[in-house]
A and B are shown apart, each in its own frame.
Chain A
């Protein structure tokens, strides 16, 4: 694994131009996108990194939606890593789509962030439920603390009123399908990551302990993978920032690639 991380260093030193912390902070604070981009040109690739666009409680905040946090740079940089480190035939750009879009089901892996502010409409809840029951796989990321959890729980109960959310055990294939992830670590955002290098905490709010939880279908298949109290998206987005700790971006890429390959094979 040491060599693997060294590869990451070499890889991203060449891939991404260095940026300053000030720039990073500025970009992180910028207003999120407000609408979906153009759809990719036909489904000729095997994989599209697809970000879910949902209705949120704070959509009016800075005239943007919380679904688009770290978008699209995080998506782009994750795809660069995915294509370099695996043989996944991935479309090289972002692919955001509304939950109610009929085309959603042509992308069997969906990524969603900041779900603590999610406020699903009835149509969105139904579309997401159908997507997951048909065989879609949802990866949740970047929401912190008990308040956000409670909000997310409320929303998921609209989707699956009776389905439990449980801890994904460390021996689950999702942690071993490509990289062996022995321990779930907390991945901080860019600000906390910078502070962590100077002895500060990595968590936000009361989200001290990171969790990887899941919702399983009736046959025991993982449908929803929930990364709580961690921010993989920021680690992807700031992997090219020398001030962002390498160990977090390395881990984020490893577990992110695991999610993709697991989602494509299970």
Chain B
């Protein structure tokens, strides 16, 4: 009877929630209806004649209730209830199809064997169990994610697997379905490219639990791997670069292996490495001798009983630039430092030092200029002129020799243009030159003392700090150890700027101890300011490292230091046209983002440039890349492309001006079948567990598949769904309305009213 009158079972009304389906603007009309109702009721009370107050109350009540029922129905009432579903819930199963699934464990079984056994259409136990309670949808993921009908579509030969992308894809594909959850079966080897947090938030808000099944070993018993290689994106030809190599191993503690680094089959470096437990890091100085986009190969000895051998080699790309760096050396007085700096870099075809020296009051001498117009009016007064240099060396230049505008321009040169600044010591440098309260102090890596000490002079022996061990500019011998030994034997220099503090975030590279109590004198420090770098080298006469009688004639320490320091300072300075890739190595089918920045001569963004980019395949085939201006970052032009065939690609970008190619830039892109799947290829339990835990799912090992099915079965979202039931057409409402209208009619007749 209840269900006849109210359409739905009584439990729905006990557990459900009454809501309305009316949009907000219709709800806003409700007061109008209530006002109408009130108007009607009041109308009855104004009636004159035979009616009494009791009649008016009774009739108003009956009419008001009838109108109230109509209004209730018009408000489209709904009952929201959670109900058992008639059809089974959907489970999305994501199967890892990447190449790392072919790796075999100690039991000689591949990770992919589990998937083949459990999801075989005929005999797969897990597939059968899941299908008993759910509608199972299969997906494969690797370089790309796809829905599949059965596991015949798996070849376990795909590139880098990205769990975030795969889960997002499956979630989007199953939107609108009664999704009980997602099951991921993977080794989870790679860290996802896309941010994980956004995915977890999305899974949480939609209430989609993820159940992850981790395949493979948590840790190999016997394996050596090059876990990471880091190189700067670009260096200047002839520069020494520091290769940051991380080696991870298990089972070979204290054993010796050989690390070999090759560039196009030419051996760049070879060294014996004694293996430490777990992870160890090496900083290896490498000399660059050939320009262009280089592919360096890093190889570690393969041991006879190693479980994974594919991770003993790794490639890294390095762009070796052959441009000439322009450096402006400004001196407030003639100094031998200038002579010996120019002499040190004279043989370096990639470094050009132009000197501007004040020789007398308001009298300047230019040396090393490229044209008669260069620095004709002294230190540059326009951005165009100053920003044409890559770095500035400020020698013994008192503050009054630079106008406030010129000083501001130096700050912009470093912070915005990304140029390098080297501040040398001297009697007119730092506080002694009146720079303490200037903007140059703001960008300096050292804290200049408040008070000048014009009479201060002190011979100092410099000592390298720990940071100098691995700083590419300060490696002045074949290895870090030899370099440190050389630093400690260099003759003393003269200090006339007593500086003892570096700023927070700055790196102290060279210092000179005073005593046990006081801070040492700063001999060299650096920090990054905006886009550029600033070095403070507050010594008066580094040329003594060339001229001192203890320095052998063949000794190249001074030359090496200055070349490396200036190269390091300026080789990464942005050019008017640049080209950057989001990664220099991707898997076949992966997506690469390409970005080109175009600047005008004053390094303001070029809004209307039309850079052209071309991708050249190993077989010489060319493909034009369409670069689109990025409205959020003026002067920036972006493109995204996918490369399906493995190989070594050249990416070229060029800019036309006045009908001619005015600027161009190159880099290389390495596309491999496996990507980085073999590296860090132990099962990534942390990642799989985190996704499961934060989505209210669960993490399981292959032997726990029964628990996985149970967990899915007990998930309320798997078999129940949220229902919204219409209430406006309940029979009880119609009957009530009829009864009220009839009641009013009967009352009028009984009371003899009109």
| Cβ-neighbour of A46 out of B334, B360, B546, B551 (below 8 A) | B334
Contact A108 B547 (CB under 8 A): yes
Shortest C-beta distance, A130 to chain B (Å), equals: 6
Nearest residue (CB) in B for A131 is B547
Is A26 on the interface with B (CB-CB < 8 A)? Answer: no
What residues on A are CB-neighbors of B346 within 8 Å? 219
What residues on B are CB-neighbors of A263 within 8 Å? 339
What residues on A are CB-neighbors of B343 within 8 Å? 135, 221
Pick the interface stretch among A54-62, A81-89, A202-210: A81-89
Contact A135 B543 (CB under 8 A): yes
Pick the interface stretch among A98-106, A159-167, A230-238: A98-106
Rounded to whole angstroms, the CA-CA distance of A103 and B336 in the bound complex is 16
| Cβ-neighbour of B549 out of A104, A221, A261, A264 (below 8 A) | A104
Is A266 on the interface with B (CB-CB < 8 A)? Answer: yes
Contact B553 A134 (CB under 8 A): yes
Contacts A88-B334, A135-B340 given; does A265 touch B355 at CB 8 Å: yes
Is B358 on the interface with A (CB-CB < 8 A)? Answer: yes
Rounded to whole angstroms, the CA-CA distance of A133 and B459 in the bound complex is 25
Nearest residue (CB) in A for B493 is A43
Is B565 on the interface with A (CB-CB < 8 A)? Answer: no
Contact with B along A133-176 (1 / 0, CB 8 A): 11110000000000000000000000000000000000001000
Contacts A86-B359, A103-B549, A130-B553 given; does A46 touch B347 at CB 8 Å: no
Is A178 on the interface with B (CB-CB < 8 A)? Answer: yes
What residues on B are CB-neighbors of A135 within 8 Å? 339-340, 343, 543, 546-547
Nearest residue (CB) in B for A103 is B549
Is A47 on the interface with B (CB-CB < 8 A)? Answer: yes
Is A177 on the interface with B (CB-CB < 8 A)? Answer: yes
| Cβ-neighbour of A87 out of B333, B338, B546 (below 8 A) | B333
Rounded to whole angstroms, the CA-CA distance of A42 and B540 in the bound complex is 13
The A40-96 residues at the B interface (CB cut-off 8 A) are: 42-44, 46-47, 85-89
Is A260 on the interface with B (CB-CB < 8 A)? Answer: yes
Rounded to whole angstroms, the CA-CA distance of A264 and B340 in the bound complex is 9
Rounded to whole angstroms, the CA-CA distance of A87 and B355 in the bound complex is 16
Is B335 on the interface with A (CB-CB < 8 A)? Answer: yes
Is B122 on the interface with A (CB-CB < 8 A)? Answer: no
What residues on B are CB-neighbors of A103 within 8 Å? 549
What residues on B are CB-neighbors of A221 within 8 Å? 343
Shortest C-beta distance, A236 to chain B (Å), equals: 19
Contact with B along A167-205 (1 / 0, CB 8 A): 000000100011000000000000000000000000000
Contact B334 A261 (CB under 8 A): yes
What residues on B are CB-neighbors of A44 within 8 Å? 457, 494, 496, 540
Nearest residue (CB) in B for A102 is B549
Rounded to whole angstroms, the CA-CA distance of A188 and B381 in the bound complex is 46
Is B180 on the interface with A (CB-CB < 8 A)? Answer: no
What residues on A are CB-neighbors of B338 within 8 Å? 264-265
Nearest residue (CB) in B for A261 is B334
The number of chain A residues with a CB under 8 A from chain B is 32
Shortest C-beta distance, A5 to chain B (Å), equals: 16
Contact A87 B459 (CB under 8 A): no
Contact with B along A226-266 (1 / 0, CB 8 A): 00000000000000000000000000000000001101111
Contact A265 B339 (CB under 8 A): yes
Contact with A along B312-341 (1 / 0, CB 8 A): 000000000000000000001111101110
What residues on B are CB-neighbors of A108 within 8 Å? 336, 339-340, 543, 547
What residues on A are CB-neighbors of B551 within 8 Å? 134
Contacts A105-B547, A219-B347, A261-B365 given; does A86 touch B334 at CB 8 Å: yes
Rounded to whole angstroms, the CA-CA distance of A46 and B553 in the bound complex is 23
Rounded to whole angstroms, the CA-CA distance of A89 and B549 in the bound complex is 23
Rounded to whole angstroms, the CA-CA distance of A6 and B64 in the bound complex is 119
Is B302 on the interface with A (CB-CB < 8 A)? Answer: no
What residues on B are CB-neighbors of A85 within 8 Å? 360
What residues on A are CB-neighbors of B543 within 8 Å? 108, 135
What residues on B are CB-neighbors of A86 within 8 Å? 334, 359-360
What residues on A are CB-neighbors of B546 within 8 Å? 134-135
Contact B541 A260 (CB under 8 A): no
Rounded to whole angstroms, the CA-CA distance of A164 and B459 in the bound complex is 39
Nearest residue (CB) in A for B427 is A89
Contact A46 B335 (CB under 8 A): yes
Contact B334 A260 (CB under 8 A): yes
What residues on A are CB-neighbors of B332 within 8 Å? 87
Contact B548 A105 (CB under 8 A): yes
Shortest C-beta distance, A58 to chain B (Å), equals: 29
Rounded to whole angstroms, the CA-CA distance of A134 and B496 in the bound complex is 25
Shortest C-beta distance, B460 to chain A (Å), equals: 12
What residues on B are CB-neighbors of A173 within 8 Å? 367
Is B544 on the interface with A (CB-CB < 8 A)? Answer: yes
Contact B365 A177 (CB under 8 A): yes
Contact A46 B333 (CB under 8 A): yes
Nearest residue (CB) in A for B332 is A87
Rounded to whole angstroms, the CA-CA distance of A134 and B342 in the bound complex is 14
Rounded to whole angstroms, the CA-CA distance of A153 and B439 in the bound complex is 55
Rounded to whole angstroms, the CA-CA distance of A261 and B333 in the bound complex is 10
Rounded to whole angstroms, the CA-CA distance of A177 and B365 in the bound complex is 7
The A101-116 residues at the B interface (CB cut-off 8 A) are: 102-106, 108
Is B370 on the interface with A (CB-CB < 8 A)? Answer: no
Contact with A along B50-88 (1 / 0, CB 8 A): 000000000000000000000000000000000000000
Contact with A along B232-270 (1 / 0, CB 8 A): 000000000000000000000000000000000000000
| Cβ-neighbour of A106 out of B359, B427, B544 (below 8 A) | B544
What residues on A are CB-neighbors of B347 within 8 Å? 219
A47, A104, A265 pick with most chain B CB within 10 angstroms: A265
Shortest C-beta distance, B456 to chain A (Å), equals: 9
Rounded to whole angstroms, the CA-CA distance of A108 and B360 in the bound complex is 21
Rounded to whole angstroms, the CA-CA distance of A200 and B340 in the bound complex is 45
Contact with A along B467-498 (1 / 0, CB 8 A): 00000000000000000000000000010100
What would 10 A/B residue contacts be, using CB atoms closer than 8 Å?
Answer: A46-B396, A46-B427, A87-B359, A105-B547, A134-B546, A135-B339, A178-B360, A264-B335, A265-B342, A265-B357
Give me the 10 closest cross-chain CB pairs, A-B, nearest first. Answer: A44-B457, A102-B549, A264-B334, A105-B547, A87-B333, A105-B549, A86-B360, A261-B334, A88-B334, A46-B335
Q: Report A's interface with B, CB cutoff 8 A.
A: 42-44, 46-47, 85-89, 102-106, 108, 130, 133-136, 173, 177-178, 219, 221, 260-261, 263-266
